[in-house]
Amino acid sequence: MFEPFQYDFFIRGLIAATVASGLCGFIGVYVVLRKMSYIGHGLSHAVFGGAVVSFVMDFNFYIGSTVWGFGSALLIILMTRVRKFIAADAAIGIITTSSFALGVALISHYHKFTRNFDAALFGNILGVDSTDLAAIIAVTAVTLGLVVLLYRRLLFTTFDPEVAPFFGVDTNWMDAIFALILASAIVVSLRVLGATLIAATLVIPPITARLLTDHFGRMMGLSVLIGALSGFFGIYISYYVDIASGASIVLLSAGLFTAALVYSSLRQRLTSMRRIAPTPSAAQTQHALFD
């Protein structure tokens, strides 16, 4: 049971996956409630374009990709806010696929790449080094700090972005900060989860949490917990079952989602049955009427 803990790479991977999945679950609450679930999928691809551009320009991967992802997220949010007839999914489709296409075009143009872009697409937990781990922890700490500071403003902006400015909330700033933390989270999680699977970790934990509670704060706590548990046990299972770590994490969260869906459906059915069931006094009245 403790065998994998003798390997440093496993411990690093385990911490990285747990923290990154928890972070994605945390930010994912805002993503899902803004009805931008597809943004995780899109931005992870956009960031892939940014990663290639950073490599071609010989620029730091983390800074280049974050700036690229931040710009893409900001463009998506601006496009949907300013041109209301462009829905969020359409804006995400336009901007992120264009960015991904640019990355692919650059790869095909510059044939020599020493970096493993398969890892960026599908995740490689074995390749997580101490720099990656430090980046994940730093982004998580900054995100946590910003969300704590801006909690009530972000909540209002997410709930009612049209009305929040009339109550003194600067929604433009909130959107910009949200875009920055989202892009940063995706960039640092890329190595662990991969561009193709990152969207699931942004969407499945918050949706699962939403099935279990009607309370925003509890939803956030549950989403982090579900994300972190999926990350921890996903890596653990992948070691023994020998499957890709990203896939293992996502499959585990999908399993938790299914369990929550079954639980909430049963709870809903029980509640409605209790409402329909006649009260003793009503039943007695019926007897009195028909006897």
Partner 1 sequence: MLHPYPHETDETGPAVQLRSVTCGYDGRPVLFDIDLTVMAGDFVGLVGPSGSGKTTLLRTILGAVDVYGGQVIVNGREIKRGAAHAGYVPQLETIDWNFPVTVEHVVRMGRASHGWTPWISRRMRDEAYAVMERLGIANLAQRHVRALSGGQQQRAFLGRALFSSPRLLLLDEPTAGVDIKTRDDVLHLLDELNHEGVTVVMTTHEINAVAAHLPWVVCVNGRIIAEGPPSDVYTPDILKRTYGAEMTVIQHEGMTLVAETPHSIGRASARHKAKAG
Query: Which residues lie near partner 1 (CB under 8 A)?
Result: 33, 148-153, 155-156, 158-160, 162-169, 210, 213-216, 219
Which alpha helices (H) appear in 123-244, and where do they start and end?
A: 130-159, 171-193, 198-212, 216-241
- When the beta carbons of 33 and 121 are compared against partner 1, the nearer one is 33
Q: How far is the CB of 257 from partner 1 (least distance, A)?
A: 17
**Torsions phi, psi of 230, nearest 5?**
-65, -40
Say if CB 181 and CB 111 are below 8 A apart.
no
The long-range contacts involving 240-246, CB below 8 angstroms and separated by at least 24 positions, are 244/122, 244/123, 245/13, 245/17, 245/123, 245/124, 245/125, 245/192, 246/122, 246/123, 246/125, 246/192, 246/193, 246/194, 246/196, 246/197
d(CA 168, CA 157) in angstroms, rounded, equals: 11
Nearest approach in angstroms of CB 180 to partner 1 is 18
Q: Which of 3, 17, 9 is nearest to 247 (CA)?
A: 17
Q: Which residues, 6+ apart, have CB-to-CB distance to 261 below 8 Å?
A: 211
Considering the complex, what minimum distance in angstroms separates the CB of residue 156 from partner 1?
A: 4
**Nearest distance from residue 160's CB to partner 1, in Å?**
7
Among residues 14 and 155, whose Cβ is nearest to partner 1?
155
As measured in angstroms, the least distance from the Cβ of 229 to partner 1 is 21
Return d(Cα 275, Cα 291) in angstroms, integer.
25
Looking at the Cβ atoms of 2 and 167, the one nearer to partner 1 is 167
Toward partner 1, which CB reaches closer, 110 or 159?
159
Output the smallest distance, CB 189 to partner 1, in A: 24
- Cβ distance to partner 1 smaller for residue 36 or 136: 36
d(CA 246, CA 235): 8
Nearer to partner 1, 187 or 207 (CB): 207
Q: How many CB atoms lie within 10 A of CB 258?
A: 11
Q: Which is nearer to partner 1, 35 or 115 (CB)?
A: 35
Q: Provide, rounded to whole angstroms, the least separation between the CB of residue 13 and partner 1.
A: 32
Q: Are 185 and 23 in contact (CB under 8 A)?
A: yes
